[in-house]
Structure 1
Amino acid sequence: MNNRIVLTVVFILFCAFASGQENPWSLTKCMEMGLQNNIEIKIRQLEIKRTQKSQNSVLNRMLPTINLYGEQGYNFGSTIDPSTNGRVSSNLQNNNFYGNARANLIDFSAFANAQKDKINIELAKAEKDVVENEYKLQLLESYYQALYTQELLKIQKEQLKQATFNLDRVTKEVAIGSRPQSDLYDMQLSFSEEENLNLETEQLYVIKKTQLFQLINVTDVAIDKVVLELYLNERTTDAIEKIVYNPKIKLAELHYQNSLKSIGLEKASNLPTLSAYYGYSTFYYKTLNQVNTDSFKNQLENNRSQQIGMQLNVPVFNGFRNNKKISASKIVSDKIKLVLEQEKQQLDKQVVLEEQNKRNYLQLQNKLMEKLRYAKASLITTQAKFISGKAEAILYSTVKNQLLTAEYEVLKNNLQLQYIDLKINLLKNNIL
């Protein structure tokens, strides 16, 4: 009986301990879950499959087309006798059967269309990559906004612990008469302000985490248990950094290649086409209300005919319509080429701005570290004066808040450097 009680108590304690455990989420984990759950990305993946299924190779386009036809009809009165092709006055039943096959032996349009199909598949993949890249940038920003708030909250909680200790100390000292009542009022006011600031940060932290998990479409997670992890992955190597792969530029390049293939397709309309064909036909006829001498089988065999041949189609003149289409396609291609240059310029400008921001934060880092050292030293001396009664409570609270501000500025500056580093990687290489 005692063993059961002990096991029950251990189980309850284990469940309580497990329920209070934190749930760590890294940036990589958020990215993986977000990419899996994003509906727009799923739509793009289906579009890739549709484009692949729609692709026709050159061989597929050159395969012959085969058609079979069957027809039954009745003619009354003055009709054509199928056996003599002469007009007679009679009622006839006709059964006609046709079969034909045609294949293009030389067709430059088939080659051009097959090449465009391949590019269309790459275009669908590039469009998915663009959606993914934009989503990654959005997710990266949301993650670091929540991370900023989380780290600020940690600093504020530590400061609040110290403020609680100091408030208790001043309360006791006022009670024994070693400090004036005004110091207690000042300390209570400072403590109340820190409590309110801590509450506001906690509320903002919940909102930022909720926005993050809404963005990755994860709803079965207890937000209050989630702890975001700092991204500690090392920088990519120089060899990888030299690779510039931006999905928007890749998409623009594919559009330009597709426009060149469109010009080739229009030019193919001016080139000859060589095709081969084969035809087979037969028929059966019967005069209604009379007995025919030839059976159905014999008539089909006797009336059959076959055709085989080759056809060469050489465009000579079409009112300059093809030439106008070619000229229009060239203009479209030039336009798309300018769009490609525009995308490259926009990427270069964005990367230059981010790199300048990075240099600014690096320059600011030393200044902020120096300010933090001064704030710590100032707090130590002011705290000593406050304990000995040589400094007022309001001065001590002010110096303590200055340290809080300095600590957060250093923290945020470091996180900003990390965020910009990852953002540049996403912009240039589409990887973290």
Structure 2
Amino acid sequence: MNLKLIVLLVLCVVGSLSAQNKKWTLEECVAYAVEHNISIEQFELDLENAQIDYSDAVGGLLPNVNSSMSLSGNTGLSFDPTTNQPVTTTILTANGGVTSSLTLFDGLRNINRLNRAKMNEVANQYRLDDLKDDIRLNVANSYLQILSNKETLKVLNAQLSVTEQDLKRTKELVDAGVLPQGDLLEIEATSAGLEQQIVNTENLVLISRIGLAQLLQITDYENFDIADVDYEVPPSDILNSSAKEIFAEALTFRNDIKFSESNILLAKEDLKLSKGALYPTLAAFFNYNTRYSDQDGFDGSTGTFVPAESFTNQLWINDGISYGAQLNIPIFNGFSTRNSIKRSEINVKKAELQLEQDKLNLETDINQAYVDVKSFAKAYEAAQKTLEARQLAYDYSKERYEVGLMNAFDFSQAQSRVDNAAADLVRTKYDYIFRIKVLEFYFGLPLGLE
């Protein structure tokens, strides 16, 4: 086989294995989701449309220029465009012209359209950034859920290993006649229960991985996985600020609030546009035109026909210009203008109410997040203490069991309580981490866990 072909195949295999073994960090997941999310791509297209609308508004302030040309042939009775005289023959004619018009005044509607287009572009940017914020939070939540499930799986596997050792020890004691056969069956049941929990947790890991992959628009679920990192609860000073202080800070930068504020400005610009229809409009126009005919001319003084001028000469001889201004004054239009103004005023009020509602929602979310951080901090601390106590109780029970002072059922219950406490500690830890990050996110801090 060709050496170059062998090298190429090796590189392809190595590249494929590298792609399959890639472990995604939280930062990579967030960046990838923001870049490939379909909703974000749709909002980016809306932003491009808003930018095009701005270009349209700029064009509305400029004069328009149009040109026209025509070439025609007629046989029979027709009019010579250069003399306006009827002729009965075959005639070839040409016409051309340039027309320009400019709106001088239209109730400032063109200016208001320009301002509205600017604000609409800003509003679409805020809407896009707000969606990115939501996606970042969703990705972080899904990422931490996978970590939580993986940590729980590690705990269960460790507990199964311990149970298998207990099972081996119990079998030896049963064989020696120290313990009854029922104790061995009890430990075997405990081991089987742990194996069932492991299977269920493995399914949770897979489901949570698929959920995150879908957020990232990744379809290769089997090879998608995240970095195996055991995050500790990060130090945070966020609770040094009150919920009101966090809310006040969030109002200064949150994109959902900025989007609502920009919607008010958009509604006010629409109101200005509606009121502009009450004013008269003034426009100016200018037109240059010329024409050509292949018909010979007639000299009345001599009574003879004069050969037709050349095409170029006729363009200069037969040209002309027209110019002027046009004033339109609205008098009555079936209440449409007045009703349009009323609708715009209502839309302004609705936008203002929506802003107040969004502020209330944000304050509610922040208060809830603030309470959640405190609650999960206490829950995490309690889970730590519970696990320590359950572990001590288990160690004591194990000593009593091994000397025959405790039956297998009570011993298995002690181990089950340790398992539950360990799993609860993992769950509350990652719940606590996520709540901290949510509250910090409202305060303007990044989502990173490093």
Which category describes the TM-score, using the shorter chain as reference length?
0.7 to 0.9
* 1:403-422 equivalences in 2 (<5 Å): 403-422=418-437
Where does 1:73-152 land on structure 2 (aligned, <5 Å)?
A: 73-74=72-73, 79-80=78-79, 82=81, 85=84, 88=86, 90-91=88-89, 92-107=91-106, 108-152=108-152
Following TM superposition, by how much is the alpha carbon of 1:402 offset from its aligned partner in structure 2, in angstroms?
0.9
1:179: how far off?
Answer: 2.5
| 1:22 and 1:227 in contact (8 A); partners too | no
Look up the match of 1:281: 289
Deviations 1:369-414 (A, max 9, x none): 3333321221222122112221112211111111222222233222
2:307 maps to which residue? 293
1:37 and 1:229 mapped to 2: Cα distance? Answer: 27
Q: Which residue of 2 aligns with 1:351?
A: 366
Structure 2 alignment gaps of length 5 or more:
1-13, 299-304
Q: 1:227 maps to which residue?
A: 228
Quickly say closer, same or farther: Cα 1:160–1:98, change in 2 above 3 A.
same
- Is the CA contact 1:24–1:229 (under 8 Å) kept in the aligned structure 2? no
Match of 2:439 in 1: 424
Specify whether residues 375 and 23 from structure 1 end up closer, same or farther in structure 2 by C-alpha distance, changes over 3 A only.
farther
Given candidates 381, 391, 400, the residue that maps to 2:406 is 391
The alpha carbon displacement at 1:182 in A equals 2.5
1:48-81 alpha-carbon deviations (Å, 9 max, x no partner): 2343244227654332211112233455666555
TM-score, scaled relative to structure 2: 0.80
Match of 1:334 in 2: 349
Determine the C-alpha separation between the residues in 1 that align with 2:66 and 2:84: 26
CA distance in 2, matches of 1:347, 1:215: 24
- RMSD of aligned Cα (Å): 3.3
Partner of 1:243: 250
Superposed CA deviations along residues 203-245 of structure 1, whole A, max 9, x for unmatched, are: 3222222322232233557357852553766648769882334
Q: Counterpart in 2 of 1:3? A: none
Partner of 1:401: 416
Code of the residue aligned with 1:45 in structure 2: it is E
Deviation at 1:262, TM superposition (A): 0.8
Specify the alignment match of 1:371 in structure 2.
386
Query: How many positions carry a matched residue from both structures?
Result: 414
SS at structure 1 position matched to 2:178? coil
Distance 1:202 1:310 in 2: 79
- Shift, 1:168, TM fit: 1.1
Question: What residue is the counterpart of 2:62 in the other structure?
Answer: 63
Conserved 8 A contact 2:159-2:419? yes
Q: Distance in 2 between matches of 1:180 and 1:340?
A: 72
How much identity, in percent, do the aligned residues show? 23
Distance verdict in 2 for CA 1:281–1:377, change over 3 Å: same
- Alignment check: 8 A CA contact 1:27 1:231 kept: no
Distance 1:176 1:319, change over 3 A: closer
Q: Is the 8 Å Cα contact of residues 80 and 87 (structure 2) preserved in structure 1?
A: no
Is 1:44 the counterpart of 2:70 in the alignment? no
Deviation track 1:175-226 (CA, whole Å, cap 9, x = no partner) reads 2233332222222222222222222222322222232223223355735785
Q: Residues 430 and 278 from structure 1, CA distance in 2 versus in 1: closer, same or farther, beyond 3 angstroms?
A: farther
Which residue does 1:215 correspond to in 2?
A: 215
**Quick one: structure 1 residues 217 and 408, their matched pair in 2 at CA, closer, same or farther if it must change by over 3 Å?**
same
Cα–Cα, structure 1 residues 58 and 203, in superposed 2: closer, same or farther, change >3 Å?
closer
Q: Residues 90 and 145 (structure 1 numbering): CA distance in 2 closer, same or farther, change over 3 Å?
A: same
Q: Which moved more, 1:337-346 or 1:309-318?
A: 309-318
Q: Distance in 2 between matches of 1:74 and 1:123?
A: 56
Aligned pairs for 1:19-34 (under 5 A) are 24-34=23-33
Question: 2:51 is matched by which residue type in structure 1?
Answer: Q
SS at match of 1:139: helix
SS of the residue corresponding to residue 99 of structure 1 reads strand
